[in-house]
Each structure stands twice: as structure tokens, then as C-alpha cells.
Amino acid sequence: MKAYLPLAAGLFVLATPAAADQSNFSFGPVINDFGAIAKVDTDVPLPANSDYKIVFDVKSAKAGERSTGLDAVARLMNMLAANGVPMSKIHPAVVLHNDAVWEVVSDARYGKEVDGKANPSAPLVKQLLAKGVPIYVCGQSMAWSDVSKSDLLPGVKVALSAMTAHQMLRQQGYALNPF
């Protein structure tokens, strides 16, 4: 995590319910133990025939902590499914770059960088992949961080760059999640 961590640590934003009363939040129905959601009495109905093709750009990580960017993907899936959107209409994708490459490496490789610890994002990555979420990692960031393809969790795909992955997904009709 040497390459980007000082910058990322300064820009890190917690994307999960934090200081507020969290008793209204629960996990599931799609991703267990990640992506907590609350029931909302919304004024904006979800169109029944919409496909939710949303790409998440994950570029920062905090050593020893689970990815809040990946947790947001689980939250989207749980929110949509809990509000009646069929799984056949939920299509998130993930592009990781900068120090977020560490979120998708094996426990052995992660431990070499973070005091022998297991990758706290690995269980979430495995659930996302099992639900068919494509996860792309920037090959340029991997090279910068000295991460090889064999260091990645099974199922994670290497893109030439985050830029090319985003362009490919845009051409497939994905919209970039704005936060």
C-alpha cells in the first residue's frame, strides 16, 4: 500500500452509516453481512422495467479495514432487491485503481503489506463475484504497486487501466456512480 496510502488516507470518506442510530439498518437480502440498508418511505418510485447498470470507481483503501467502496456496491444491490427490483435487473460493476488494488489481493499478498493480516475485503469480494458482479482492477496501478495477476483473488479481472475499463463499461451502457 506504499504507493498511494498517504494521499488516500487524507481523502478517505466513510461510506457506511456512522454516528447516527444504526438500529434501522440491516443486511441482505442479496449480500449478507455487508451493505447495510434502511427502509425508506420514498417519494420516487423505482421504474419496474429499468436495468440498473452502475459502475463503481474505487480508488482508495485504508490499511486493515474493509473497503467502503465495495460495501457501497453491496448496499446498492441490497437496496434495489429489498425494494422489489429483480436480480435480473441489477448489474453493478467495479473498477479498482490506485491503492484500492489491495482490496482484491489474496490474504497472503495482503499480509506481506499489512503486518501479516488477512484481507478484510476478501469475504465481500467473494460474495460480489458469486453474485455475478464483474470486478476489474487497473493493470497500471497493479504494476505501480508491484501486485501480480497471481496475487489477485480468483475471479477478479485485470484491465489495461482503470480508464480503459471505464470506457468499455460506458460502451456497454453503464453509468458511473457519482459518489
Q: What is the pTM of this model?
A: 0.87
Give the helix/strand (H/E) hosting 52.
strand 52-58
Residue 44 one-letter amino acid = V
**Going from the N-terminus, what domains does the chain have, and what CATH number goes with each?**
5-13+35-40+51-176 (3.40.1260.10)
Largest CA distance in the chain: 49
Q: pLDDT tens digits for the chain (179 residues)?
A: 444 333 333 333 444 445 566 789 999 999 999 999 999 999 999 987 899 999 999 999 898 899 999 999 999 999 999 999 999 999 999 999 999 999 999 999 999 999 999 999 999 999 999 999 999 999 999 999 999 999 999 999 999 999 999 999 999 999 999 88
Phi/psi at 20 (5° precision): -70, 170
Q: How far apart are CA 162 and CA 168, in angstroms?
A: 10
C-alpha cell read off for 171: 460502451
Q: How far apart are CA 14 and CA 121, in angstroms?
A: 15
Q: How far apart are CA 72 and CA 47, in angstroms?
A: 21
